[in-house]
């Protein structure tokens, strides 16, 4: 409720601010347009967004929306036409001095975690990011507040208008907890030398909790921790979560990112008295993106491994190891003037995805545990400007339960169509 | 300009065609013969209740929704995948009873071992001196029909065994029923007040309400008004001293009872295939049908789709001596330790599909093929197994083809 009030008052104050300025001179609002397809490093994505500025006023604002129509069916069962307002995000950035910056992002999101229990509570408002950056040296910046943990590239660079697909990658949002942000502090830095760019990030933040192995999704599910209402004020284990990332980019080859996250996730002590062993969840992630120079083909891929220490005598339904990833291939097929837009683009794209929610074998039989899915999603998108996308996707997905069964709710073959819009504003 | 208009028109036509026809381009419903999900014919109101029960049956329970602290599985659907047979990874263990005098280990956590526990709790152990047996989840589909087989029909099948030349001597498992269970209108109790039970590997459970309430409590550690005490671990010394607030309300539990009651029976596939028909005859000739009855008829039910229906469950709902090989030294009700309820064979051919591509048959999944399951039969089935072993390859193949068609 507090967040809703905060969000409402922020929207109202911004609206009145814009209105007041527009009445004086609408040209005061300058669109700080950025081609969001061209990022220096993925870690810059949080600032690499279009903002509206007013003259020398040190505050700039921006945001994006995502909305789509979807029609999917699984093994002959469909819920019909679904009109979904996925997200509304509002950014406010401020340069306090040339070396001190603040940026915040407040987001309304429907079914952010994919957790059946969480979905019933409907959409929610959340402060996704609100952090202060203090630059001491290009290689040493301090960041503190509500930060987005740099686990994988997608978690850092997930704004809807940047992608040709209405759905986010399943492995990155349902195996990894994208968007995963937390209260904490850390350091980051970058170095540029000719064709090479190097960046690093390291943060200590609040972390996960027991829900990652005790949730209505019935599987090891890091996003379940997103539903913990006290995660911004208290840590379940009392220990910090460590998140780090190294990025290396060659302007001709592409960008490679290696990241990790480690956390003692369980409440192992109650009022100081140990009640359980400490158990660790770790994530390792590798991401890569490049653009092939001749065809301008954009390739983005990421895969991750999740390792979770399990309590003794717990059900194998909850995995101690998961693996998943995706690859996007985006091919511009037309660039030019369309319907009066001078720099419109039409892209063909395809996404391949795979997630194994439970890597390993049954203790009872030695046979392989399944609980996996794979998906392929061709797409066509139209970008009248780099900040706005209209996209049409078709998904074909196969999912099995832990025993390999493909008959049942959400199991078996899923196919569907979606048409969506997303734009920065 | 013309080109642009044509392009726009074509795009609109394609978009409209896609939007209006997309339902026709999606995956088709699975052939009901190859799945066992779905209800019998229901009214609209009954369908709503069935859907509620379906949601609850497949819901995952967590600590915050009552799971544990000691449990076997986190939801009904985890053991009864697609309403069919279970998988060994959710197998449960019962212990503490060796004869009809009852379970002597109730104070030490009997009759069921909850082999999983929430973090921080100690795993339950089988107490010293207690015999035990492992049970894999039986098929759920069609149980509503089995609930409606009149006691008189069960007694008649038992009576027909008296002079069986192969030594088949199946009998009903009479057991006490808990206070919250209401006997069927056509029940035929024994003089000592015990009733004919029919569900579970030992046929020791009376009806589906008892089955569901017990599963919630023993399998998931979830209390209800019917079973208000949590299972506990005597090693932890955390035995509850009074009933808890129910973890699951009666509306939810009753919806699950309604759901399983209304599940359709598995359908036989390729029934008119000559090999299948030959295999059916071999099945009869071997004497399998003496226990695995092909045809039973239900009694009255307020749900039309269940009432007075002829079904093919391939069970007589009696317990039979299966010999030493299947005697684990544990029992329930008045069955002997070597006695097991005749397992319904319907859905047998679909079992591998929900068991990871392998068969895990018999009460604890020890048989990894239908042939192996047959050959592990002993006791009253010994004569039939001898005949099975003498079958020609053609007849053996026909029999197995028939069984896989179920």
Residue B14's domain comprises 2-32
- What is the band of A172 on the pLDDT scale with cuts at 50, 70, 90? very high
- For A407, the closest of B64, B82, B357 (CB atoms) is B82
Q: Within this chain, do residues B101 and B224 fall inside the same structural domain, yes or no?
A: yes
Count of A-B CB contacts under 8 Å: 135
Closest residue in A to B66 (Cα) is: A214
State the best of A75, A83, A315, A346 to mutate against chain B, taking most chain B CBs within 10 Å. A315
Separation in Å, CA of A216 to nearest CA in chain B: 5
CB contact under 8 A, A415 and B25: yes
CB contact under 8 A, B123 and A313: yes
CB contact under 8 A, A364 and B22: no
The tokens for B164 are 């069986």
Q: Is the pLDDT of residue A331 over 90?
A: yes
Q: Around Cβ B1, how many Cβ atoms within 10 Å? A: 5
* Per-residue b or e along A326-344, where b marks 16 or more CB atoms closer than 10 Å to that residue's CB: bbbbbbbeeeeebeeeeeb
CB contact under 8 A, B89 and A363: yes
- What is the band of A15 on the pLDDT scale with cuts at 50, 70, 90? very low
CB contact under 8 A, B26 and A71: yes
Of A16-30, A234-248, A274-288, B224-238, least confident by mean pLDDT is A16-30
Using CA atoms, how far residue B348 sits from B145, B352, B362, in Å, is 17, 8, 11
CB contact under 8 A, A367 and B356: yes
Q: A407 to chain B: which residues are within 8 Å by CB? A: 30, 34-35, 37, 82, 353-354
CB contact under 8 A, B120 and A276: yes
For range A305-319, the mean pLDDT: 95
For residues A348 and B339, is the Cβ–Cβ distance under 8 A? no
Question: How many helices, marked H, and strands, marked E, lie in chain B?
Answer: 13, 11
Q: Within this chain, do residues B228 and B361 fall inside the same structural domain, yes or no?
A: no
User: Rounded distance, CA A49 to CA A51, Å?
Assistant: 6
Cα A286 from chain centroid (whole Å) = 15
What torsion, rounded to 10 degrees, do the Cα atoms B151, B315, B54, A167 define?
180
Cα A96 from chain centroid (whole Å) = 27
- For B26, the closest of A78, A211, A313 (CB atoms) is A78
Separation in Å, CA of A199 to nearest CA in chain B: 39
User: What local confidence, expressed as pLDDT, does residue A42 receive?
Assistant: 81
Cα B348 from chain centroid (whole Å) = 12
Q: How many CA atoms lie within 13 A of B49 on its CB side?
A: 19
Q: Within this chain, do residues B41 and B160 fall inside the same structural domain, yes or no?
A: yes
Q: B22 to chain A: which residues are within 8 Å by CB? A: 71, 417
Domain annotation covers residue B77:
yes
Query: Between residues B36 and B270, which one has the greater pLDDT?
Result: B270
The tokens for B2 are 């013309």
User: Rounded distance, CA B294 to CA B271, Å?
Assistant: 13
- What is the band of A68 on the pLDDT scale with cuts at 50, 70, 90? very high
Q: Within this chain, do residues B83 and B27 fall inside the same structural domain, yes or no?
A: no
Q: A408 to chain B: which residues are within 8 Å by CB? A: 37, 58, 77, 81-82
Could you read off the pLDDT of B13-30 as tens digits, one per residue? Answer: 777 776 667 667 777 777
**Residue closest to A69 by CA, chosen among A158, A167, A159, A154:** A167
Q: DSSP letter at B91?
A: -
Domain annotation covers residue B26:
yes
Q: Is the pLDDT of residue A215 over 80?
A: yes
State the best of B87, B134, B139, B267 to mutate against chain A, taking most chain A CBs within 10 Å. B87
| Percentage of residues of chain A with pLDDT beyond 70 | 88
User: What local confidence, expressed as pLDDT, does residue A7 receive?
Assistant: 44
Q: For residue B235, list its beta bridge partners.
A: none
Q: Is the pLDDT of residue A29 over 70?
A: no
Q: B23 to chain A: which residues are within 8 Å by CB? A: 71, 73, 78, 80
Query: Between residues B341 and A112, which one has the greater pLDDT?
Result: B341
The tokens for B404 are 């896989």
User: What local confidence, expressed as pLDDT, does residue A136 receive?
Assistant: 95
CB contact under 8 A, B60 and A416: no
Q: A228 to chain B: which residues are within 8 Å by CB? A: none
CB contact under 8 A, A311 and B118: yes
CB contact under 8 A, B89 and A407: no
Q: How far apart are the first and last CA of chain A?
A: 26
Q: Within this chain, do residues B26 and B40 fall inside the same structural domain, yes or no?
A: no
Separation in Å, CA of A269 to nearest CA in chain B: 10
Domain annotation covers residue B147:
yes
Q: Within this chain, do residues B369 and B298 fall inside the same structural domain, yes or no?
A: yes
State the best of B60, B134, B347 to mutate against chain A, taking most chain A CBs within 10 Å. B60
Tell which of B235, B261, B287 closes a domain. B261
The residue count of chain A comes to: 425
The tokens for A346 are 């039409």
Separation in Å, CA of B22 to nearest CA in chain A: 7
DSSP string, A359-423: -SB-TTT-PBP--EEEEEEEEEEEEEETTEEEEEEEEEEEE--TTS---STT-EEEEEEEEEEEE
Q: Is the pLDDT of residue A30 over 60?
A: no
User: Rounded distance, CA B393 to CA B178, Å?
Assistant: 49
For B285, list phi and psi in degrees, rounded to 5: -65, -35
Separation in Å, CA of B163 to nearest CA in chain A: 42
Using CA atoms, how far residue A32 sits from A29, A131, A255, A323, in Å, is 9, 21, 25, 39
Residue partners of A123: CB distance under 8 A and separation at least 6: A85, A108, A109, A110, A111
What angle do the packed helices B382-389 and B274-286 form, to 10 degrees? Answer: 130
User: Rounded distance, CA B114 to CA B205, Å?
Assistant: 19
Of A416-425, B226-235, B292-301, least confident by mean pLDDT is B226-235
DSSP-based three-state secondary structure for B320: strand
Domain annotation covers residue B372:
yes
User: Rounded distance, CA A211 to CA A223, Å?
Assistant: 9
Domain annotation covers residue B176:
yes
Separation in Å, CA of A356 to nearest CA in chain B: 15
For range A301-323, the mean pLDDT: 96
- For B37, the closest of A315, A317, A408 (CB atoms) is A408
- For A313, the closest of B54, B116, B360 (CB atoms) is B116
Tell which of B207, B238, B261 closes a domain. B261
- Quote the mean pLDDT of chain A: 87
Q: B359 to chain A: which residues are within 8 Å by CB? A: none
Q: Within this chain, do residues B107 and B121 fall inside the same structural domain, yes or no?
A: yes
Q: A317 to chain B: which residues are within 8 Å by CB? A: 73-74, 78, 89
User: What local confidence, expressed as pLDDT, does residue A52 receive?
Assistant: 79
User: What local confidence, expressed as pLDDT, does residue B219 receive?
Assistant: 96
- For B356, the closest of A216, A404, A415 (CB atoms) is A404
- What is the band of A225 on the pLDDT scale with cuts at 50, 70, 90? very high
DSSP string, A13-77: HHHHHHHHHHHH-GGGEEEE---TT--S-GGGTTT-S-EEEETT-SEEEEEEEEEEEEEEEETTE
Q: Is the pLDDT of residue A26 over 50?
A: no
DSSP string, B227-287: S-S----TTTT---SSPPPPSS-HHHHHHHHHHHHTBPPPPPSSTT-HHHHHHHHHHHHHT
Q: Within this chain, do residues B105 and B208 fall inside the same structural domain, yes or no?
A: yes
Tally of domains in chain B: 3
User: Rounded distance, CA B370 to CA B363, Å?
Assistant: 13
Q: Within this chain, do residues B59 and B79 fall inside the same structural domain, yes or no?
A: yes
CB contact under 8 A, A407 and B67: no
Query: Is the preceding peptide bond at A179 cis, omega within 30 degrees of 0?
Result: yes
CB contact under 8 A, A313 and B115: yes
User: Rounded distance, CA A262 to CA A245, Å?
Assistant: 12
For residues B40 and B356, is the Cβ–Cβ distance under 8 A? no
User: Rounded distance, CA B221 to CA B232, Å?
Assistant: 9
Closest residue in A to B14 (Cα) is: A392
For range A250-276, the mean pLDDT: 93
- For A276, the closest of B22, B35, B119 (CB atoms) is B119
Q: DSSP letter at B159?
A: H
Q: Is the pLDDT of residue A90 over 50?
A: yes
Q: Is the pLDDT of residue A327 over 70?
A: yes
Could you read off the pLDDT of B234-264 as tens digits, one per residue? Answer: 877 777 778 889 999 999 999 999 999 999 9
- What is the band of B37 on the pLDDT scale with cuts at 50, 70, 90? low
Closest residue in B to A211 (Cα) is: B62
For residues A147 and A114, is the Cβ–Cβ distance under 8 A? no
CB contact under 8 A, B26 and A73: yes
Closest residue in A to B73 (Cα) is: A315
- Into which CATH architecture does domain A2-424 fall? Beta Barrel (2.40)
Domain annotation covers residue B136:
yes
The tokens for B184 are 């069927």
User: What local confidence, expressed as pLDDT, does residue A21 receive?
Assistant: 36
* Per-residue b or e along B117-130, where b marks 16 or more CB atoms closer than 10 Å to that residue's CB: bbbbbebbebbeeb
User: Rounded distance, CA B152 to CA B159, Å?
Assistant: 10
Q: Within this chain, do residues B228 and B100 fall inside the same structural domain, yes or no?
A: yes
| Percentage of residues of chain B with pLDDT beyond 70 | 96
Domain annotation covers residue B334:
no
Of A363-372, B160-169, B347-356, B363-372, least confident by mean pLDDT is B347-356
Taking CB atoms within 8 Å and a gap of at least 24, the contacts of A113-116 are A113/A174, A113/A177, A113/A223, A113/A224, A113/A226, A113/A227, A114/A173, A114/A174, A114/A217, A114/A223, A115/A215, A115/A216, A115/A217, A115/A221, A115/A223, A115/A224, A115/A227, A116/A216, A116/A217, A116/B59, A116/B60
Q: Within this chain, do residues B281 and B228 fall inside the same structural domain, yes or no?
A: no
H or E element: which one contains B10? helix B2-21
Residue ranges of the domains in chain A? 2-424
Of A71-85, B53-67, B359-373, least confident by mean pLDDT is A71-85
User: What local confidence, expressed as pLDDT, does residue B9 receive?
Assistant: 75
């Amino acid at each position: 409720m507090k967040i809703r009030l905060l969000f409402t008052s922020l929207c109202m104050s911004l609206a009145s601010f814009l209105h007041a300025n527009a009445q004086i001179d609408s040209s005061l609002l300058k669109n700080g347009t950025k081609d969001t397809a061209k990022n220096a490093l993925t870690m810059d994505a949080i600032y690499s967004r279009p903002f509206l500025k007013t003259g020398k006023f040190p505050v700039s604002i921006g945001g994006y929306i995502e909305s789509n129509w979807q029609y999917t069916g699984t093994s002959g069962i469909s819920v019909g036409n679904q009109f979904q307002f996925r997200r509304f995000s509002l950014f406010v950035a401020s340069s306090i001095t040339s070396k001190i910056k603040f940026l915040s992002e407040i987001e309304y999101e429907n079914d952010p975690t994919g957790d059946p229990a969480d979905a019933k509570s409907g959409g929610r408002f959340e402060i996704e990011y609100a952090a202060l950056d203090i630059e001491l040296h290009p290689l040493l910046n301090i960041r503190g507040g509500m930060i987005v943990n740099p686990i994988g590239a997608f978690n850092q660079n997930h704004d809807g208008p940047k992608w040709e697909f209405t759905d986010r990658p399943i492995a990155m949002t349902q195996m990894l907890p994208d968007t995963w942000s937390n209260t904490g502090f850390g350091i980051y830095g970058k170095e540029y030398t000719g064709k090479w760019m190097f960046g690093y990030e390291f943060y200590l933040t609040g972390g996960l909790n027991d829900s990652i192995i005790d949730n209505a999704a019935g599987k090891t599910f890091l996003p379940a921790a997103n539903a913990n209402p006290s995660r911004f004020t208290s840590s379940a284990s009392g220990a910090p979560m460590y998140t780090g990332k190294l990025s290396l980019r060659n302007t001709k080859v592409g960008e490679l990112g290696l990241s990790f996250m480690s956390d003692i996730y369980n409440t192992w002590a109650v009022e100081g008295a140990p009640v359980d062993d400490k158990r660790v969840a770790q994530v390792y992630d590798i991401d890569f993106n490049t653009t092939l120079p001749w065809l301008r083909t954009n390739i983005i891929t990421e895969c991750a491994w999740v390792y979770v220490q399990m309590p003794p005598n717990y059900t194998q339904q909850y995995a101690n190891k998961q693996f998943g990833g995706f690859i996007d291939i985006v091919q511009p097929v037309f660039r030019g003037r369309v319907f009066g837009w001078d720099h419109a683009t039409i892209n063909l794209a395809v996404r391949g995805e795979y997630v194994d929610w439970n890597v390993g074998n049954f203790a009872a039989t030695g046979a392989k545990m399944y609980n996996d899915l794979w998906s392929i999603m061709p797409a066509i998108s139209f970008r009248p400007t780099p900040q706005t996308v209209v996209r049409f996707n078709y998904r074909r997905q196969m999912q099995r339960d832990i025993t390999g069964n493909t008959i049942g709710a959400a199991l078996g073959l899923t196919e569907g169509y979606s048409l969506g819009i997303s734009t920065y504003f | 300009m013309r080109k642009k208009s044509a392009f726009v028109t074509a795009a609109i036509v394609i978009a409209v065609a896609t939007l209006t026809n997309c339902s026709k381009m999606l995956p088709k419903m699975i052939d009901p013969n190859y799945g066992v999900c779905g209800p019998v014919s229901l009214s609209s109101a009954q369908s709503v209740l069935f859907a509620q029960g379906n949601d609850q049956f497949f819901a995952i329970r967590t600590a915050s929704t009552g799971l544990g602290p000691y449990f076997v599985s986190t939801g009904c659907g985890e053991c009864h995948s697609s309403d069919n047979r279970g998988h060994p990874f959710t197998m449960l263990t019962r212990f503490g009873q060796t004869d009809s005098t009852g379970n002597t280990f109730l104070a030490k956590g009997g009759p069921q071992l909850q082999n999983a526990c929430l973090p921080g709790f100690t795993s339950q152990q089988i107490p010293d001196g207690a015999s035990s047996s492992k049970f894999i989840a039986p098929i759920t589909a069609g149980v509503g029909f089995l609930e409606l087989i009149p006691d008189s029909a069960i007694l008649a099948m038992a009576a027909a065994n008296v002079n069986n030349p192969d030594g088949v001597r199946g009998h009903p498992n009479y057991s006490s029923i808990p206070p919250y269970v209401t006997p069927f209108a056509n029940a035929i109790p024994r003089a000592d007040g015990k009733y004919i039970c029919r569900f579970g590997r030992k046929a020791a459970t009376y009806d589906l309400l008892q089955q569901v309430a017990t599963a919630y409590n023993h399998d998931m550690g979830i209390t209800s008004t019917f079973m208000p005490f949590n299972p506990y671990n005597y090693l932890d010394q955390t035995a509850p001293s009074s009933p808890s607030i129910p973890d699951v309300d009666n509306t939810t539990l009753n919806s699950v009872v309604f759901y399983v009651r209304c599940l359709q029976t598995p359908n036989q596939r390729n029934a008119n295939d000559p090999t299948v028909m030959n295999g059916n005859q071999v099945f009869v000739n071997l004497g399998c049908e003496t226990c695995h009855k092909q045809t039973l008829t239900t009694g009255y039910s307020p749900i039309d789709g269940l009432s007075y229906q002829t079904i093919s469950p391939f069970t007589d709902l009696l317990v039979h001596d299966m010999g030493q090989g299947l005697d684990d030294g544990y029992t329930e009700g008045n069955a002997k330790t070597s006695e097991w309820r005749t397992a319904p064979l319907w859905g047998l051919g679909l079992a591998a599909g929900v068991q990871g591509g392998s068969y895990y048959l018999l009460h604890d999944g020890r048989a990894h093929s239908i042939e192996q399951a047959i050959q592990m039969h002993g006791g009253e089935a010994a004569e039939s197994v001898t005949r099975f072993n003498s079958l020609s390859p053609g007849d053996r193949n026909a029999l197995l083809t028939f069984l896989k068609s179920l």
